[in-house]
Amino acid sequence: MNESTEECSPFKDRKKKNHMSLNDKKRLAREKAEQYNSNGRPIRQYHMLTAEEVKQGKETHWEELEIIGSIKNISPDLWKLTYLTGLYLNDNQLTRIPPDISLLVNLQSLDLSGNKLRSLPAELGELVYLKELLLGYNMLRSLPHELGRLFQLQVLGLAGNPLCQEIMKLYSEPNGTHRLLMYLLDSLQVRVPVPPGRPWIPLSRPNKNIPSCPVTVMCYNVLCEKYATTQMYGYCPSWALSWEYRKKVILGEIRHYTADIITLQEVETDQFYNFFLPELKKDGYDGVFSPKSRAKTMSENDRKRVDGCAIFFRAIKFTLIKEHLIEFNQLAMANSSGSDDMLNRVMPRDNIGLAALLKTNETAWENSLPSEVQQPILVCTAHIHWDPEFCDVKLIQIMMLSNELNTILEEANRTYRNVNHHQPPIQLLLCGDFNSLPDSGVIEFLSAGKVSSDHQDFKDLQYKTLLQKISSCERPNEFAHSFKLSSAYENIMPFTNYTFNFKGIIDYIFYTRQTMTPLGLLGPLAPEWFKDNKVLGCPHPHIPSDHFPLLVEFELSPNAHQSNSNGLIGRR
């Protein structure tokens, strides 16, 4: 064997390795340890610009910072770096983390492992964008309950701490991080004060010189139990998410505002018949309800959990003439004409509308209305599809709804003209969670009475020919409806739905503007309450739904615009 072969022999290398000295082994172990931190992860690599690179105009942009070197104290200037998304202070000699760490509001990853921390500041719970929090190998015996507010946390490192058995037991269970966070959040004392009352905003004075019927109308999405999960609303304690807790607060709100007409969305079938209806009957209400269309295909037991829409009315003021169910999936199928877009996008969504044709009783009127006059009013509520990616479905659902309401009103007018030629025009109230912002095609269609057939919400899909069949417009490039509607909450509320990821206006009360006058409405919750108390979203222990109830008082006058029956306008 020649010399070069001998030097390259693997047997030779193995022999040398097996006879490595103790000092060499220690040196290799030390070098390996220097490449990894206390979490067993590789030390992060970085590059500092050279003077030459700076001269060439090169720049750096960094959002993460690692500080190493057995440091014992942190400069207060660190908390000014609010743009940081990652901060790595592991493997130092820190004994304390100041409350000012909460100023790093954009942090997503924080590593404090391998220090000498005996406690953590409660303010750590304000870093709500954290997805990774490593606290291993410190001296922590407890965790602040405020950590439960870190609902977006995916990785939590606690190994190597003398924490109590209760915490470690939860932490070691499947999905332990989520379970531990919910335990901490549920144990956190609610220090947020009850929000101040919402102001009543007067809009106009009632006319005392003519017979009139004042009517207060509420619209409220109560958040169905099956949708109120800790996965969806992780910032809310589980006890405040439970239906047993929330339903009492919701009922208290409804009773507090004492509306004459109440429209609710996301009401479970079982809760309508066994909670809302019996409770509100005690207060003099009667009501109608329908679940989403999927209930028809379910067993009786499963059907109880399907949510839908409900309309309640004060029986002393109104009498129910007839109720109507509008099923969007059935209408989509009937109007599809084989269209793939209508069949694949619109038809599978089983949202519904529910309408109740009411008439006023004599006791509803003020200023001496003749007893033979009964004002008919069509109250409709709807829950439109939620997904922002399906804005075309939302717009088509609302178009189908308006077309059905037009049919219902025309039929009702024919019926009442045959009975009494002196009956006043039928008024229309349209309330609901339309899952659509004020600048959407849905709200443009309702408010303006028309929408372009090329509106971006149609997503350039092939609906034009199909929708012309249900439009009141004879113009080829727009769709229209036959009502003159106004939104009662025009530029009043900054949001009607308030969650961590979304805040916006998606709930509405529309009315026939020729024959109904809004006298006043319930204003918004004070924005300062949310900001000052760092309320991440709703539901909240003080707010039982992610929606806020809308409440409007209208004045109905039977003599208003008698010549223009129920606000219908001619074909455009």
Determine the average pLDDT of the residues in 436-462.
95
Q: Are the beta carbons of 365 and 380 closer than 8 angstroms?
A: no
pLDDT for the residue 42: 65
Q: Are the beta carbons of 477 and 531 closer than 8 angstroms?
A: no
Mean pLDDT of all residues in the chain?
A: 90
pLDDT for the residue 55: 81
Residues 6+ apart with CB under 8 A from 185: 145, 148, 149, 151, 235, 237, 238
pLDDT for the residue 44: 65
Determine the average pLDDT of the residues in 12-30.
52
pLDDT for the residue 208: 83
pLDDT for the residue 51: 82
As given in the structure block, the two tokens for residue 405 are 């309401």
Q: Report whether the peptide linkage leading into residue 193 is cis, meaning its omega lies within 30 degrees of zero.
A: no
pLDDT surpasses 70 at 546: yes
- Residue 477: which pLDDT band, with cuts at 50, 70 and 90? confident
Strand partners, 312: 262, 287
Strand partners, 381: 354, 431
Q: Percentage of the chain with pLDDT > 70?
A: 87
For 104, other C-beta atoms within 10 Å of its C-beta total: 23
Tell me the C-alpha distance between 238 and 215, whole Å.
Answer: 37
Determine the average pLDDT of the residues in 352-370.
88
Strand partners, 498: 503
As given in the structure block, the two tokens for residue 375 are 């004002």
Give 422-442 pLDDT, tens digit per residue. Answer: 667 899 999 999 999 999 999
pLDDT surpasses 50 at 18: no
pLDDT for the residue 28: 57
Show the 3-state SS of 509-572.
Answer: EEEECCCEEEEEEECCCCHHHHHHCCCCCCCECCECCCECCEEEEEEECCCCCCCCHHHECCCC
Active site residues: 433
Tell me the C-alpha distance between 448 and 445, whole Å.
Answer: 6
pLDDT for the residue 211: 82
Residues 6+ apart with CB under 8 A from 262: 217, 218, 220, 254, 280, 285, 287, 310, 311, 312, 313
pLDDT surpasses 50 at 16: no
Q: Percentage of the chain with pLDDT > 90?
A: 75
Q: Kindly calculate the radius of gyration of the chain based on its CA atoms and give it in whole angstroms.
A: 32
Q: 76, exposed or middle or buried, with CB in 10 Å at 0-12, 13-18, 19+?
A: exposed
pLDDT for the residue 570: 38
Residue with tokens 């909670």: 275
Task: Tell which residue, 91, 85, 83, 81, has the closest CA to residue 42.
Answer: 91
Give the residue with greater pLDDT, 466 vs 186: 186
As given in the structure block, the two tokens for residue 286 are 């009667």
pLDDT for the residue 434: 99
Strand partners, 155: 132
pLDDT surpasses 90 at 154: yes
- Residue 41: which pLDDT band, with cuts at 50, 70 and 90? low
Give 105-140 pLDDT, tens digit per residue. Answer: 999 999 999 999 999 999 999 999 999 999 999 999
- Residue 45: which pLDDT band, with cuts at 50, 70 and 90? low
Give the residue with greater pLDDT, 417 vs 26: 417
Give 231-278 pLDDT, tens digit per residue. Answer: 999 999 999 999 999 999 999 999 999 999 999 999 999 999 999 999
pLDDT surpasses 60 at 32: no
Determine the average pLDDT of the residues in 295-323.
96
Give the domains, in start order, of the chain with CATH numbers. Answer: 57-187 (3.80.10.10), 210-556 (3.60.10.10)
Task: Tell which residue, 214, 141, 153, has the closest CA to residue 179.
Answer: 153
Q: How many residues does the chain have?
A: 572
Tell me the C-alpha distance between 55 and 49, whole Å.
Answer: 10
Tell me the C-alpha distance between 64 and 143, whole Å.
Answer: 25
pLDDT surpasses 80 at 415: yes
Tell me the C-alpha distance between 117 and 263, whole Å.
Answer: 54
Instruction: Based on DSSP, count helices (H) and strands (E) in the chain, helices before strands.
Output: 17, 22
pLDDT surpasses 50 at 402: yes
Give 482-498 pLDDT, tens digit per residue. Answer: 899 999 999 999 999 99
| DSSP tag of 285 | E
pLDDT surpasses 80 at 161: yes
- Residue 467: which pLDDT band, with cuts at 50, 70 and 90? confident
Q: 192 — alpha (psi -120 to 50), left (phi > 0) or beta?
A: beta
First to last CA, the chain: 102
pLDDT for the residue 218: 99
- Beta strand pairing status for 155-157 and 200-202? unpaired
pLDDT surpasses 90 at 151: yes
pLDDT for the residue 23: 66
pLDDT for the residue 447: 97
Residues 6+ apart with CB under 8 A from 5: none
Tell me the C-alpha distance between 320 and 377, whole Å.
Answer: 10
Centroid of chain to Cα 396: 22
Tell me the C-alpha distance between 413 and 408, whole Å.
Answer: 9
Report the half-sphere exposure of 182 (CA within 13 A, side-chain side): 16
Tell me the C-alpha distance between 72 and 173, whole Å.
Answer: 34
pLDDT surpasses 90 at 366: no
SS3 50: coil
pTM of the model: 0.88
Q: Give the sign of the dihedral formed by CA 139, CA 143, CA 144, CA 147.
A: positive
Residue type, 65: L
Residues 6+ apart with CB under 8 A from 39: 90, 111, 113, 114, 134, 136, 157
pLDDT surpasses 50 at 5: no
